[in-house]
Amino acid sequence: MSSIWCERAWLGPEGVADNILLETDDGGAITQVGTAPRPDPGSGVLVLDGVVFPAAANAHSHAFHRALRGRTHAGRGDFWTWREQMYRAAGALTPGKYERLATAVFAEMVTAGFSSVAEFHYVHHRPDGAAYGGGLGADGADDHDGDDLAGAHAMELALCRAAAAAGIRLTLLDTCYLAGGIGKPLAPEQQRFGDGDVHAWLDRLDSLRKTVAARFDPAHITVGAALHSVRGVPESALPVIADRLPPELPLHIHLSEQPAENEACLAEYGVTPAGLLARHGLLSARLSAVHATHLTAEDIELLGSAGATVVMCPTTEADLADGIGPARALTDAGALIALGTDQHAVVDPWLEMRALEHGERLASGQRGRFTPDELLHAASAGAAAAMATPTAGIAVGMAADLAAVNPASMRTVGSEPGQLPLTATSADVTAVVVGGELLAVNGIHSQLGQPADLLAAALKEIA
């Protein structure tokens, strides 16, 4: 057992309390929440000053998109023009390069206050579409740039090793990506994303689950499933997935991110993307619909009545000019809101919380659309519910995943502790604990050092 003392801690509906002492077991779970005076130096108790919150959970990430930050703003355009730059970045990845980049990105997340991440992963194969697993690709390239980096599941295992190095909990969402658009084959730049057909994807997913379970601690690294979108997965595959996908797996999908997606879906199938999922029994509490920006009233009712999670990525949706999603209406309909950083234009849970509320204010003309407590829930427990990860919270039975915030910085000084989601940023995070272990202090990772240095080195390899 170990002990963690918090100068102040946010305990959910109970608000912020002083002098909180947490006891944890050997697995890093909280076994007791009480109060105690500040421990003496040398007592062996981990002391967290400031205001301590449950660490954030990142419910939607594409780690390699971090290579695009600050490099896509030179001209006008939209999501579709940005996507061409994204494909170029994807094409430059090898397992070794991706492991180094993802390690840096995951370290950046930890220092910002995240303890877990759902990685929406579709860069499965070599650039020409040939599977990893020995030998050379059709282009003659040898990707073996490190130990075990050209074997089966090379890209997936690279991400798992990156998460293990950074100490972040990973739900690796292995993604089905079969088409380049509704009724279109994969384009050349999309070949490495595809598995040929839905049965090949399901078989590879099964093999991946067994491989990851044999190599990594399931408390920290596990596998879930994702469908890229209704653009990327034909309707004919949906009943197969509904029938064969193990029911315990989290299932994510990009949903109604763009009006063009909705228009194509209506033209081909006669229903919206949400309606198409409902047609095949894929709308349920295990589903996480990412973005859900352009929904009809019926879509909102379908997602809400299913108890689905809607993962919003407000800073990415703003960066890509996607639009403002109906977060309040979805919540009122019964959906659970989660937050993610998606393309990592920003890696900061506090700014995602703020952007969610600010988007609602801009769209509605009203303030206070989400309370600070609701924002914190979306960034922690709401997001964790989209993963195979312990539910976030400072309570008995929860993982001791914590982030301490300085309430006296230039940004936060004078703030009510419970209103820090509207004033703090990741620059105010002074300590991050994952599973009872101190992993970051003042922006420096305890094992990996300064994430900016790791990022600089990794980005040079794929620039």
pLDDT tens-digit readout, 248-257: 999 999 999 9
Name 231's Cβ contacts closer than 8 Å, sequence gap at least 6: 179, 180, 181, 182, 261, 264
Residue 284 Cα to chain centre, angstroms: 20
Check residue 151 and give its pLDDT: 87
Check residue 145 and give its pLDDT: 47
d(CA 159, CA 338): 22
Residue 50: is its pLDDT beyond 90?
yes
> Lowest mean pLDDT: which of 65-79, 235-249, 261-275, 374-388?
65-79
pLDDT tens per residue across span 150-201: 689 999 999 999 999 999 999 999 999 999 999 999 999 999 999 999 999 9
Residue 215: is its pLDDT beyond 70?
yes
Label residue 46 by pLDDT band (50, 70, 90).
Answer: very high
Check residue 141 and give its pLDDT: 41
d(CA 353, CA 346): 12
Label residue 392 by pLDDT band (50, 70, 90).
Answer: confident
Task: For the sheet with 56-61, list strands across it.
Answer: 56-61, 114-121, 169-176, 221-227, 251-255, 287-291, 309-312, 336-339
d(CA 207, CA 379): 32
Residue 330: is its pLDDT beyond 80?
yes
Label residue 149 by pLDDT band (50, 70, 90).
Answer: low
Label residue 134 by pLDDT band (50, 70, 90).
Answer: low
Residue 96: is its pLDDT beyond 60?
yes
Closest CA to 279 of 257, 306, 254: 306
Check residue 391 and give its pLDDT: 76
pTM summary value: 0.95
Check residue 389 and give its pLDDT: 75
Handedness of CA 278, 174, 347, 398 (dihedral sign): positive
Residues of the chain above pLDDT 90, percent: 86
Residue 136: is its pLDDT beyond 80?
no
> Lowest mean pLDDT: which of 112-116, 122-126, 135-139?
135-139
Check residue 89 and give its pLDDT: 85
Residue 230: is its pLDDT beyond 50?
yes
> Lowest mean pLDDT: which of 122-131, 141-150, 359-368?
141-150
Neighbours of 34 (CB within 10 A): 9
**DSSP state string for 325-358:** --HHHHHHHTPEEEE--BT-S---HHHHHHHHHH
Residue 146: is its pLDDT beyond 70?
no
Q: Helices 198-215 and 154-166 sit at what angle, rounded to 10 degrees?
A: 40
Q: What is the mean pLDDT of residues 57-68?
A: 94
Check residue 209 and give its pLDDT: 97
Check residue 87 and give its pLDDT: 87
Label residue 86 by pLDDT band (50, 70, 90).
Answer: confident
Q: What is the mean pLDDT of residues 221-244?
A: 98
Give the tokens for residue 180.
């380049």
| Encoded amino acid at 63, one letter | A
Residues in the chain: 463
State how far the alpha carbon of 267 is from the alpha carbons of 232, 260, 280, in Å: 16, 11, 18
